């Protein structure tokens, strides 16, 4: 069976992690091996870098470089081997998040990240990206009750609005890969949208 690379994207609190397990169960019930993973992180080195990048103050470019360093490790150790073995890899965030947060949120030029993307994974893109989209105020309200905020979650409302807008622009640019899900609906309604997308897969 051919490997499939699926990524989940969206602003903090959009609902990505809430659907990971359900998505994995759907693929398993269709006879697939599933590998669930996340960014930043996914490997021992990546998880250490995650701790640093989510909590230590740093320059925006350092942040971008750490994200891609962690990503290279993730791709070589986890993603490529799993895809080669025919598994479905579901990653909670990937490179779209770097464009949304480091370019949209922090204001780095996209050309910088395009260079890193070409370096780290010129020949690899997700087969499908589910973009959980919703007004950032709703996402923030959900998170406020869920956990204490990291460096990104503590950013101002306009930061999150730019992240959301950048994600949506990317979805317009890559309509064949990125499917936008209305994450503002209740869990069951979001799941129904996901199911419709999964059932439409070739």
Ligand X SMILES: Nc1ncnc2c1ncn2[C@@H]1O[C@H](COP(=O)(O)OP(=O)(O)OP(=O)(O)O)[C@@H](O)[C@H]1O
Helices (H), the chain: 16-29, 44-55, 60-74, 80-84, 95-98, 110-121, 136-146, 157-173, 187-199
Residue with tokens 């990503």: 71
Does residue 161 contact residue 136 with C-beta atoms inside 8 Å?
yes
Closest CA to 152 of 48, 12, 17, 2: 12
CB-CB neighbours of 66 under 10 Å: 18
Per-residue interface string for the shown chain with Mg ion, residues 1-20, x marking contact by CB under 5 A: ---------------xx---
Judged by CB under 6 A, the number of residues near ligand X is 14
Nearer to Mg ion, 19 or 121 (CB): 19
| Residue 142 lies near ligand X (rule: CB under 6 A) | yes
Interface with ligand X by CB under 6 A: which range of 6-14, 46-54, 98-106, 115-123? 6-14
| Candidate segments 70-78, 100-108, 142-150, 159-167, binder of ligand X by CB under 6 A | 142-150
What would the x/- binding string for ligand X be over residues 54 to 93, using CB under 6 A?
A: ----------------------------------------
Query: How far, in Å, are 59, 74, 100, 141, 162 from residue 13 at the CA level?
Result: 24, 23, 15, 8, 15
Tell me the closest approach of the beta carbon of residue 194 to ligand X, in angstroms.
Answer: 11
Give the binding site for ligand X (CB under 6 A). 10, 12-18, 142-143, 146, 186-187, 190
């Amino acid at each position: 069976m051919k490997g499939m690379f699926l990524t989940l994207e969206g602003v903090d609190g959009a609902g990505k992690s809430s659907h990971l397990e359900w998505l994995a169960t759907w693929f398993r019930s269709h006879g697939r091996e599933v590998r669930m993973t996340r960014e930043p992180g996914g490997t021992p080195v990546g998880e250490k870098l995650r701790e640093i990048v989510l909590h230590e103050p740093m320059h925006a470019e350092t942040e971008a470089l750490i994200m891609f360093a962690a990503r290279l490790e993730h791709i070589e150790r986890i993603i490529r081997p799993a895809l080669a073995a025919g598994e479905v890899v579901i990653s909670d965030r990937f490179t779209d998040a770097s464009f949304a947060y480091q370019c949209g949120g922090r204001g780095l030029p996209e050309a910088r990240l395009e260079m890193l993307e070409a370096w780290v994974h010129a020949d690899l893109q997700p087969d499908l990206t589910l973009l959980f989209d919703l007004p950032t105020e709703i996402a923030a309200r959900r998170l406020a009750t869920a956990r204490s905020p990291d460096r990104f979650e503590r950013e101002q409302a306009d930061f999150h609005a730019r992240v959301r807008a950048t994600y949506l622009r990317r979805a317009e640019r890559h309509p064949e890969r990125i499917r936008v899900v209305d994450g503002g609906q209740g869990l069951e309604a979001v799941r129904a949208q996901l199911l419709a997308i999964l059932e439409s897969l070739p």
